[in-house]
Chain A
Amino acid sequence: MSAPENCDLHTIVVLVENKSGVLARIAGLFSRRGFNIESLAVAPTDDERFSRITIVVDVSSTSIDQVVKQLDKLVNVLEIRELDPATSVERELLMVTVAAATPESRREIIDLVQIFDAQVLNVGFKELMVSVAGSPRRLDDFEALLGRYGIVEMQRTGKIALSELVKVDPTA
């Protein structure tokens, strides 16, 4: 079973100029204003002048309104969108090395890999390295299920997200 969504976590997508120091400005703003970053993913957009940063912010001690307004004051920030989890498509990538010392545990892990559409990336004599992409909640489930075998090392990318597409032609 999934853990309930944490409603203190908001996802904002920030379009910034692709210049050196921009990430430092954003990180500096968050630390200076006491905002907490839960996760952060950065990559250039299709237009090389700009980058898109997806930030998951913990707003338990501050208002999302302040976070957005303060970010908007940064000269290199062009656009900020807050994504509602209900109307956005979210993806995250997880890589994990899990203990698989016995044939049984190795078999069970490979079953889980199949169920979750995950991939075995690397095989060791007593460990498996696997990866899965999907919604953050699905990754949470996968991580929880692997926990009993013993997680040796794990890395998550932090989520990226886009708005859900309109299903009905509004002009029709």
Chain B
Amino acid sequence: MQLNGAQAVLKALEHEGVDTVFGMPGGAILPVYDPLIESSIRHILVRHEQGAGHMASGYAHATGRPGVAVVTSGPAATNMVTPLLDAYMDSIPMVCITGQVALPAIGTDAFQEADTTGITMSATKHNYLVTDVNDIPQIIHDAFHLATTGRPGPVLVDIPKDLVLPSAELEWYTPTGHDLPGYNPVMDGDPAAIAQAARMICEAERPVIYSGGGILRSRAAEVLLELAEMTGIPVVTTLMNRGGFPDDHELCLGMPGMHGNYTAVMAMQEADLLIALGSRFDDRVTGDRGSFAPDAKVIHVDIDPAELGKVRHAHVPIAGDAKSIIAGLNGAIRSLGGAEAQPDRTAWRTTLSGWQEKYPLTYEEHQPGERLKPQAVVEQLRDNTPDDTIVVAGVGQHQMWASQYWKFNHPYTWINSGGLGTMGYAVPAAIGAQVGQPDRMVWAVDGDGCFQMTCQELTTAALEKIPVKIAILNNSYLGMVRQWQELFYDERYSETHLDTLPDFKMMAESMGCVGFRVDSPEEVEATIQKANEVDDRPVVVDFRTLEDEKVYPMVPAGASNSELLVDPSQREG
């Protein structure tokens, strides 16, 4: 079958099972947009290329399938750098197609030329500059393979314009294998190491399962549940694995780290064994590395061998896929006696439940006349939405409150920017999640600072009738920065006050959304109900929240996790 390069790009995407792409046309990618009219692929026209990238990421988070973004060359490609790096840090499978100036023009500083592969080299798992039209089917096939296997990540394919013009023809072929001689991700863990890990687990007196985003990427939530229930070992779920183990489960300790709850943080500090499953000892989890979990031996399971020993020495490092290794671990523990082989851990359980009782997550009651308590808004959202609602956050205080106060009982219900900490992630990622899961309710919990970075995509959602819901916890500040200024910079609020403009309700309405503004606690629940009923366009709810509310607990930057600051009401003396 004779195709031109543009048709081959679309056929290759269809062949990979792509149903939706997020993008925006422009000069160099223009030829690819012409056959798109006849293609079965749905195209979501964004208002800014960064939006396309985060939408693809939200789609991938919510569905497990790779998200695809298509944009043009130069500034469009540079606008894609943030979403690519965001997806790279959080191991999200994504494929990005960028237009490039024609091959003979490369290197001449042509109009809208950028060294896209050079610029994105450190923001992608791998990238390609296509130099022969005949390579298009194979490279796109390889790009999807790279994005979705091993440690997932974003892959970029840069295609010069002369290779997609109608004059650039090729004989279509369906690639049968991959041209990747240097790519062999390890999947199965070393059985000897798994057996050793099983023995260590059965001997540990104060073990903690430290579960990270790798659980969700490898779809290992079920085997994790089995491991925890068989051994009775408590589980902390990092910011990237909220929902990977049910919050309502008695063994769930919740989120550890800088804003983790007291029990999760201290359980890791006092543990004699950390069973790290798809987690990477991020600095936001460990605090000061030298004083982190000083007595713990470490079993570290990760699909990326470079994570093993990168930050913390692992006594038993196991490279491979979390799901397959945890299943192997479960078998090995079962053969040692399973639940029967576990030592008496009553003292450890008592310590943990004592902490849970003494230091639950808490905040002060709302006082009459005050603006809303942001934590209460999150709790009311949680209590007035379906159990499997997908929650999407930006970055900052609102993100931490959403992670702390929501109850995540299902995998793939929590989407946020963990590694890169990209403000503005929530609105486009929520749109992508809703496109991928049209039958589920999707609520973004956003901040007023984040919202103003990417809210132009609400127009996209309104025109596409994507009924995503946005709750802005609007405290008129860059809240997390303000919190640091209050605690560590003598309350000198340098450039964090955003004031009360714009009017988000009016702004939402002008973009084709339903807009609400909520000032008093009595209106919160009713407004959420009204928002839930909208199913044909986006809804924005501007919750006017307290400006000086802080996220607790908190480990000050650089401090030991043992110096965790709990809520002022829980402090002694």
Which residues of A line the B interface, CB within 8 A?
Answer: 16-17, 20-21, 24-25, 28-29, 32, 63, 65-66, 69-70, 72-78
**Complex: A54 Cα to B133 Cα, angstroms:** 34
**Complex: A65 Cα to B181 Cα, angstroms:** 22
The answer on a CB contact under 8 Å between A78 and B121 is no
With A28-B122, A75-B126 known as contacts, the answer to whether A66 contacts B310 (CB < 8 A) is yes
The answer on a CB contact under 8 Å between A75 and B306 is no
Residues of chain A within 8 A (CB-CB) of B310 are 66
The answer on a CB contact under 8 Å between A75 and B180 is yes
The answer on a CB contact under 8 Å between A21 and B304 is no
Residue of A nearest to B121 (CB): A28
**Complex: A150 Cα to B306 Cα, angstroms:** 46
Using a Cβ cutoff of 8 Å, how many contacts connect chains A and B?
A: 39
Residue of B nearest to A27 (CB): B121
What are 26 of the A-B contact pairs (CB < 8 Å)?
A16-B182, A17-B181, A20-B129, A21-B117, A21-B121, A24-B118, A25-B121, A28-B121, A28-B122, A29-B122, A32-B122, A66-B306, A66-B309, A66-B310, A69-B305, A69-B308, A70-B306, A73-B304, A73-B306, A74-B182, A75-B125, A75-B126, A75-B180, A75-B182, A75-B183, A77-B182
The 8 tightest CB contacts between A and B, nearest first, are A69-B306, A78-B182, A75-B126, A77-B182, A75-B183, A69-B305, A32-B122, A70-B306
The answer on a CB contact under 8 Å between A78 and B122 is no
- Scan residues 98-119 of chain B and give those whose CB is less than 8 A from a CB of chain A: 117-118
The answer on a CB contact under 8 Å between B180 and A24 is no
Residues of chain B within 8 A (CB-CB) of A66 are 306, 309-310
**Complex: A20 Cα to B183 Cα, angstroms:** 17
A2 to chain B, nearest CB (A): 34
**Complex: A113 Cα to B118 Cα, angstroms:** 45
B391 within 8 A of A: no
**Complex: A32 Cα to B125 Cα, angstroms:** 14
B146 within 8 A of A: yes
Having A24-B118, A75-B125, one finds 18 other A-B pairs with CB under 8 Å, namely A17-B182, A20-B129, A21-B118, A24-B121, A28-B121, A32-B122, A66-B306, A66-B309, A66-B310, A69-B305, A69-B306, A69-B308, A70-B306, A75-B146, A75-B180, A75-B182, A75-B183, A78-B181
A29 to chain B, nearest CB (A): 8
The answer on a CB contact under 8 Å between B129 and A65 is no
With A25-B121, A28-B121, A75-B146 known as contacts, the answer to whether A65 contacts B309 (CB < 8 A) is yes
Q: By the criterion of a CB under 8 Å from any partner CB, how many residues of chain B are at the interface?
A: 18
With A16-B182, A77-B182, A78-B181 known as contacts, the answer to whether A72 contacts B118 (CB < 8 A) is no
Residues of chain B within 8 A (CB-CB) of A17 are 181-182
**Complex: A20 Cα to B118 Cα, angstroms:** 11
**Complex: A127 Cα to B181 Cα, angstroms:** 50
With A21-B129, A66-B310, A78-B181 known as contacts, the answer to whether A72 contacts B305 (CB < 8 A) is yes
Residues of chain B within 8 A (CB-CB) of A65 are 309
Residues of chain A within 8 A (CB-CB) of B146 are 75
Residues of chain B within 8 A (CB-CB) of A70 are 306
- Scan residues 145-160 of chain B and give those whose CB is less than 8 A from a CB of chain A: 146
A82 to chain B, nearest CB (A): 15
Residue of B nearest to A16 (CB): B182
Residues of chain A within 8 A (CB-CB) of B125 are 75
Which residues of B line the A interface, CB within 8 A?
Answer: 117-118, 121-122, 125-126, 129, 146, 180-183, 304-306, 308-310
B401 to chain A, nearest CB (A): 33
The answer on a CB contact under 8 Å between B182 and A76 is yes
Residue of B nearest to A28 (CB): B121
Residue of B nearest to A71 (CB): B306
Residue of A nearest to B126 (CB): A75
A23 to chain B, nearest CB (A): 12
Residues of chain B within 8 A (CB-CB) of A76 are 182
B256 to chain A, nearest CB (A): 24
Residue of A nearest to B310 (CB): A66
**Complex: A63 Cα to B146 Cα, angstroms:** 27
**Complex: A20 Cα to B121 Cα, angstroms:** 13
Tell which of A21, A28, A73 has the most Cβ of chain B within 10 Å. Answer: A73
A151 to chain B, nearest CB (A): 36
A34 to chain B, nearest CB (A): 13
**Complex: A134 Cα to B389 Cα, angstroms:** 68
B143 to chain A, nearest CB (A): 10
**Complex: A85 Cα to B497 Cα, angstroms:** 60
Residues of chain B within 8 A (CB-CB) of A20 are 129
Residues of chain A within 8 A (CB-CB) of B182 are 16-17, 74-78
Residues of chain B within 8 A (CB-CB) of A69 are 305-306, 308
Residue of B nearest to A69 (CB): B306
**Complex: A28 Cα to B180 Cα, angstroms:** 20
Residue of A nearest to B179 (CB): A17
B325 to chain A, nearest CB (A): 18
Residues of chain B within 8 A (CB-CB) of A78 are 181-182
**Complex: A66 Cα to B312 Cα, angstroms:** 12
Residues of chain A within 8 A (CB-CB) of B308 are 69
**Complex: A16 Cα to B183 Cα, angstroms:** 11
Residues of chain A within 8 A (CB-CB) of B183 are 75
Residue of B nearest to A78 (CB): B182
Residues of chain A within 8 A (CB-CB) of B180 are 75
Residue of B nearest to A70 (CB): B306
**Complex: A21 Cα to B122 Cα, angstroms:** 13
**Complex: A145 Cα to B180 Cα, angstroms:** 49
Residues of chain B within 8 A (CB-CB) of A32 are 122
**Complex: A11 Cα to B125 Cα, angstroms:** 26
**Complex: A66 Cα to B146 Cα, angstroms:** 22
**Complex: A28 Cα to B308 Cα, angstroms:** 22
**Complex: A76 Cα to B121 Cα, angstroms:** 13
A141 to chain B, nearest CB (A): 38
B191 to chain A, nearest CB (A): 21
A97 to chain B, nearest CB (A): 35
Residue of B nearest to A29 (CB): B122
Residues of chain A within 8 A (CB-CB) of B126 are 75
Residues of chain B within 8 A (CB-CB) of A28 are 121-122
**Complex: A70 Cα to B129 Cα, angstroms:** 22
**Complex: A25 Cα to B306 Cα, angstroms:** 17
**Complex: A20 Cα to B117 Cα, angstroms:** 11
**Complex: A17 Cα to B308 Cα, angstroms:** 26
B175 to chain A, nearest CB (A): 16
**Complex: A109 Cα to B139 Cα, angstroms:** 57
**Complex: A73 Cα to B309 Cα, angstroms:** 15
Residues of chain B within 8 A (CB-CB) of A29 are 122
**Complex: A69 Cα to B129 Cα, angstroms:** 25
**Complex: A17 Cα to B182 Cα, angstroms:** 8
**Complex: A63 Cα to B122 Cα, angstroms:** 21
**Complex: A80 Cα to B140 Cα, angstroms:** 27
B309 to chain A, nearest CB (A): 6
B485 to chain A, nearest CB (A): 30
